[in-house]
Each structure stands twice: as structure tokens, then as C-alpha cells.
Amino acid sequence: MTKEDDAIAEIRRFNRFYTRYIGVVNSSVLKTEFSLAEARVLYEVANKETPTATEVGKALGMDPAHVSRILRGHQRHGLIARERSETDGRQALLRLTAKGKKTFATLDTRSRDLVEGMLASLPPGGPARIIGAMQTIEELLGERPSAATAAAAAARRPYILRTHQPGDMGWVVARHGVLYAQEYGWDETFEGLVAKIAGEFLEKFDPKKERCWIAEQDGENVGSIFLVKKTDKVAKLRLLLVEPTARGSGIGRRLVTECVRHARQVGYKKMTLWTQSHLHAAHKLYEEAGFQRTKSWAIRQWGKDMISETWDLDL
């Protein structure tokens, strides 16, 4: 069997698994009288502004005759109403009736609860891995914008930098653990180190000499950086992180710039940071800010062999 045959078999196996899984969801969990196709049609009408039957069929990739039969059934049960288009008398516009809205709301709530329960049952890092895999499939099959397109869109979205508040440290620890496991294969001991750093920052926090910045975009945390006191004259840059959805927006550069600017403002004479040789995106930001690599050494940590580095900046 060739590699192509293996790939085809694997895709068909996944399709059978996913179809079976969705069938179980629809019949035994959502406890609805609708078939999967009927529920999907109802969803499309609910989430589009007066679509036509043709538009619903195209969105779902379903046979027009099948869509028509489903729509007639929904109309017969009082879930959907048809209105003649004012601009094109040949077209009928679809909308949910009051009963249809109530029915859809119940279905939508059950579906949300199901997904929430499924995500909660996964091991640490599981939800992010599933979402990442879904996004990759969509991108490769042309359903989702490429990473470059997404980055360009992110660059146009506004963001704010703020100091830390209750709950932020938990986010910093969790996102470091998940992202570095996904992107570099680091184990849970790295998350433990981040938890230790964040805990010590809160316990020994010196507001005159230390600071945490959190980047927020659309109300969500998307980045972090810490300025931590090492000595009266030396500061450490720690825990730089930018979410994948916000990369390419300039947030990482802004976080580093703010950290260096504040270190100068409060009287530090030098900054230092610890990083790993393969974190190339972060290195570019450090170089732009004026940091220079001063030391490197081989080490095994977080389940991987790597090269650790120290970078310094005279202020």
C-alpha cells in the first residue's frame, strides 16, 4: 500500500468516526426529533438574514430538492415562514417564526452544553489541540483564511495594554503551558516553572520597580510580559507571550518596548532575560530592542534537549 493509499484510508476512517459521532450527538444527546440535515437547515435560516432556499442549499452543500423537502416540513410544523422578495418576485425569503425561534433556541442551548461538556472532559491542553487541528483542516481545505491572511486581519484590530488584575496570573500560567506544549512539545514541568514565577511575582511584588503588562484585544487576553526586579540596578524581562491569533499585529514588539521603557524610567541600569535558542520570533524582538546574546549552554529541561541563552541590555 502506498503513502497515498494510507492517507486516503486515514481520511475515510476519520470521516466514518466523525459521522458516527455526530449521529450519536444528534440522536442521544440533543434529544431532538430532527435529523442532522433538518437541524442544519434550521440553523442556517436562524443565522442568516432572510435567506433563500438556494442560499441555504449552497451554504450546506446539499441537494436543492432535499433542502426543499426539509423546508416544506419545517413550514408545515410552523417553524419557518416564507415571504416573497420585493426585489425579485421569483424568490421566497425564509425566516423563523416565533415557534421556530423557540425551537432553535432550545436546540442551540443543548448543542452548546454538549460541546462545553466535551471540552471539559479532555485532558489539559486538549481543547486547544482540537481547535488547532480544526483550524488547520479548514485552512488546508480552503475554508479558513491562511495564517498570513489572519495575521493581516489581526494587525487591523485595536488592542490595549494594561497592568495585571485578579485572574490574569492563572491565564498566564495556563496559556504558557498549552502553547509551549503545542508548539514545542514542552512537558508540564514548564507550566510548573511559569506558575512559580507568577506566584513569586505576586508574593514579592514591588510596584515601584516591577510591572506586568497584559495585552487585550476584543476583550480577550492575548499577550503578556513581566518586568521583575533582580537587584536594585538589574531587571529581568520574563514571560513574554503572544497568542497565535494576535501574532503579526505588533503586540509582541509593543510589549518588549514598554518593558524596556519602564525599566529605564524607574532607574534600572541593565536588563537581562533567559530564553531558548529555537525561539526565533522572540529573538527578533529582543534584537530590535537592543538586547545581545551573552551566554549559551546545552541543557535538558521540560522533556527536551535544547540550548539555553542569556541576553542582556545596557540601559
- Shared domain for 293 and 245, answered yes or no, is yes
Domain membership of residue 152 (yes or no) is no
Mean pLDDT in residue range 159-179: 93
- Shared domain for 209 and 308, answered yes or no, is yes
pLDDT of 22-58, one tens digit each?
665 555 445 667 777 888 888 888 887 788 888 888 8
What percentage of the chain carries pLDDT values higher than 70? 88
Q: What is the mean pLDDT of the chain?
A: 85
- Shared domain for 222 and 112, answered yes or no, is no
pLDDT of 187-243, one tens digit each?
999 999 999 999 999 999 999 999 999 999 888 899 999 999 999 999 999 999 999
Mean pLDDT in residue range 82-110: 80
pTM of the entire predicted model: 0.55
- pLDDT band at residue 311 using 50, 70 and 90 as cut-offs: very high
Least confident of 94-103, 104-113, 137-146, 167-176: 137-146
One-letter-per-residue 3-state SS of the chain: CCHHHHHHHHHHHHHHHHHHHHHHHHHHHCCCCCCHHHHHHHHHHHCCCCCCHHHHHHHHCCCHHHHHHHHHHHHHCCCEEEEECCCCCCCEEEEECHHHHHHHHHHHHHHHHHHHHHHHCCCCCHHHHHHHHHHHHHHHCCCCCCHHHHHHHHHCCCCEEEECCCCHHHHHHHHHHHHHHHHHCCCHHHHHHHHHHHHHHHHCCCCCCCEEEEEEECCEEEEEEEEEECCCCEEEEEEEEECHHHCCCCHHHHHHHHHHHHHHHCCCCEEEEEEECCCHHHHHHHHHCCCEEEEEEEEEECCEEEEEEEEEEEC
Domain that holds residue 55: 32-121
- Shared domain for 162 and 278, answered yes or no, is yes
Q: Tell me the CATH number at 91.
A: 1.10.10.10
Mean pLDDT in residue range 99-127: 77
